[in-house]
Structure 1
Amino acid sequence: MPLITSIKQQRDKDRVNVYLDDKFGFGIDLDNFVSLHLKVDQELTEKQVEEIVKKAEFQKTLDKLLRFAMVRPRSEKEVRDYFRRKKVHESMHGKLLEKLKHLELIDDEKFAKWWVEQRQNFKPKAVRVLRLELRQKGINKETVDEVLGETVIDEEKMARELLEKKAYKWKNLPVREARQKISQYLAGKGFGWEVIEKVVKNFMLK
C-alpha cells in the first residue's frame, strides 16, 4: 500500500503536497488535510488515495469557482459556461451548483435585476435589447418579463440622449436622409418604431 513519506507546504499556504513512497502523490487543501488526519508514515489503500484526490480536486475547483461567482451576481448559465470553459468534470457540476445555490451565489432573478440596474446606470439599453441580453444569459422568459415589468425605463429619454450625442453626424444632411439615418440608428439600438417616430419628429423640429 502507498505510504505517506513526506508532506510539504505549497506556495499557496492553504494547500500542501503529499508524497507517497517518496514521489509526489497529490495536492490537497488544509481543511481536507486536517479532517482526513493525514500524517507521515501513514499507509493508504489505492481506494483511499482515489477518494482523497477526488475530494481535493473538488475543493480546488470550488475555490476557483467561488472567486468567479463572488465578483458579481451570476446566472446559472454563466456558471455552466464557466464549467465548459474550464473543462470542469461533469461529475462535479451538480454538487458545485448546489453549493453555490446554498451560498446564494446563484439566483437568476437577483442576477436579472442587477443586470438591468447596471445597464440603466452605466450603459442604458432599450427594453428589447435588455430582454435579448437576459435571455442570452439564460434567464427564463417569466423572470425576464417580471423584472422588466417592475423596472421603469424611459425609452424616449434614452433615445433623445443618444441622438444628442450623435447630432453632429446628421446636421449637414438633407432632412429626408437625416431622418432615415437617425431612424436606422435608433432601430439598431433596439428601439421600437413608436418611440423612434416620436423622438425623430421632435429632434427634426429643433
Structure 2
Amino acid sequence: MKVTAITVQARNPDRVNVSIDGSYRLSLTVAQLAELGLRADDVVGDMELQELEAASTYGKLYQRTLEYALMRPRSIREIKDYLYRKTQTKAIRSRTTGTVSLREGVDVQVTEHVLEELIKKGYVSDVKFADFWVRNRFVRKGVSVRKLRSELLAKGVSSSVIDETLAATERSDEDELAKVIAKKRARYSDDIKFMQYLARQGFSYDDIKSALQE
C-alpha cells in the first residue's frame, strides 16, 4: 500500500488527511505527522497502517477530550466518565438515507492514554477543579460549605483535596447563609419551613437561628 496524498484539512489546518492507494484513509495532527515521519509516496504494510490508524484515533479523541476539559475545569472523574462514553458502541442514523449503522467505541487503552496525557500536561487536575468549584459555585446565591463538600465528593474529588481547598477559601457559612436568606426569604411566610429549607442546603440550625434573629 502506498501513501498517495497528504493534504492539510480546510477546516482545521492543524490536521492533515492521508490517502492510501488513491483514497482517503485517515487523518493525523501535524505534530503526529512530523513525529511519525510519514511522507507522500511512502509504502506502508498492514502493521504500519494499523499503527497509523491507532494514532489517528488517539489524536482525534485527545483533541475532543481536551476541548471538553477546557470548557471549564473538570475533575478526573468527569473526564473518565466522558471517555467511558466514547468506548461504547453507538447506533448512528444516516441523515440522507435514514439507515442505522453501528459505530464501535474507542479501545479502553486509548482512553487511558488520553487521560494520562491530560493529567501529565496539567489540563486535568482535581486540585485545580476543586479550587475553581469552591471559588465560583453559587457566588451570588450563596452555598454552604457542607453542600460544596458534598458536590465535590460526588465529582470524585478526594476528602484530603477538599479539606485543603475549603481551608484556603474565604467563603464562610455565615456570609453564604446571609446571601441565601436575602434571596429566598420573601418566598417563605412560615419561619419553620424556611428554616427547614435552609437546613436542607447544608447550614446548621444554630447558624440559621442566629441569622434569622438579626
For 1:93, the equivalent position in structure 2 comes to: 111
TM-score normalised according to structure 2 size: 0.80
Choose from 177, 187, 203 the match for 1:169.
187
CA distance in 2, matches of 1:40, 1:105: 34
Alignment of 1:130-169 (within 5 A): 130-169=148-187
Which residue identity lines up with residue 182 of structure 2 in the other structure?
A: E
What one-letter code is carried by the residue in structure 2 that aligns with 1:187?
Answer: A
2:24 corresponds to 1:6: no
Q: Does residue 191 of the first structure (1) align with residue 209 of the second (2)?
A: no
Supply the AA of the counterpart residue of 2:14: D
TM-score (ref. length: structure 1): 0.83
Deviation sequence 1:177-196 (CA, Å, 0-9, x none): x2212112212222122212
Inter-partner Cα distance in structure 1 for 2:194 and 2:72: 36
Q: CA separation in 1, counterparts of 2:25 and 2:175?
A: 63
Verify the 8 A CA contact 2:8 2:15 in the aligned structure 1.
Answer: yes
What pairs with 1:56-135 in structure 2 (closer than 5 Å)? 56-87=56-87, 88-119=106-137, 121-135=139-153
Distance 1:55 1:183, change over 3 A: same
**Structure 2: gaps of 5 or more residues:** 88-105
Flag the 1:160–1:68 CA change in 2: closer, same or farther, 3 A. same
Aligned residues: 195
Work out the percentage of aligned pairs sharing the same amino acid. 31
CA RMSD of aligned residues (A): 2.1
1:5 and 1:161 mapped to 2: Cα distance?
A: 65
Q: Aligned residue for 1:180? A: 192
CA distance in 2, matches of 1:110, 1:6: 43
Higher helix share: 1
Q: 1:30, 1:157 → 2: CA distance?
A: 51
Higher-Rg member (1/2): 1
**Relative to 1, partners in 2 of residues 1:123 and 1:48: Cα closer, same or farther, differing over 3 Å?**
farther
Letter in 1 for 2:37: H
Gaps of 5+ in 1: none
Q: Is the 8 A contact 2:143 2:177 kept in 1?
A: no
Secondary structure of 1:191 counterpart: coil
SS in structure 1 of the partner of residue 42 of structure 2: coil
Question: 1:63: how far off?
Answer: 1.7
Q: CA-to-partner distance for each residue in 1:61-116, whole Å, 9 max, x for gaps?
A: 11222222233322111111120233343112332222122211222122212210
Distance 1:120 1:94 in 2: 33
Q: CA deviation at 1:8?
A: 3.3
